[in-house]
Amino acid sequence: MRVITGKYKGKHFDVPRNFKARPTTDFAKENLFNVLRAYLDFEEIHALDLFAGTGSITLELLSRGCLEVVCVERDRSHFSYLLKMLRSLDDSAAVPLCGDALKYIAKSPKTFELVFADPPYALRELRELPDRVMQSGILKSGGLFVLEHGRDLDFSDRRDFLEHRAYGSVNFSFFRKEND
């Protein structure tokens, strides 16, 4: 896994072979961040990476200079890997949390300009994630929610839906929280 651009550009991290999480492909990740750049100024936002897995998205957000990047991962072995990787960067903007992403959405005292979620595609609550995020108060007014999902989901009928992008088998749906 490598960092595509920013202050950590080119930095490589070896993901253990027994890792259950699938990192977002470099191709999909690069295109995702090209789209995000049109919506956000990374150096002015607080971001949340739910279901952080390998930490690939967290690394890209940190590398682009986000003020704070909270990453939530429940699997203890994945979290241990994430901690080791983040310690090697020694970036004070990184806030790793070991816990359930769905519970964090419901109870977080913080708000973010960007919430990114890459849940397991088999997650039973996956279809509900846009509702959970938008109704929780975790996303600031005008904030952006990005959901990575399989090709079988379509959220285009939602009022808060912005766009859908597909890169191979990786799909991203973008949502904007209406201004209060």
d(CA 10, CA 8): 6
In terms of DSSP H, where are the helices of 70-138?
76-89, 101-107, 129-136
Mean pLDDT of the chain: 93
Local structure of 37: helix, strand or coil: helix
Q: What's the average model confidence in pLDDT over 155-171?
A: 94
| Helices 56-63 & 76-89 angle (0-180, nearest 10) | 20
Q: What is the CATH number of domain 29-176?
A: 3.40.50.150
Q: Where are the domains of the chain?
A: 29-176
Query: Burial, 17: exposed, middle or buried (Cβ in 10 Å; 0-12, 13-18, 19+)?
Result: exposed
- Could you report the per-residue pLDDT of 71-106, keeping only the tens digit for each? 999 999 999 999 999 999 999 999 999 999 999 999
Q: What is the pLDDT of residue 122?
A: 83
Distances in whole angstroms, Cα of residue 37 to Cα of each of 34, 61, 101, 134, 175: 5, 11, 25, 21, 15
Is the per-residue pLDDT at 132 higher than 80? yes
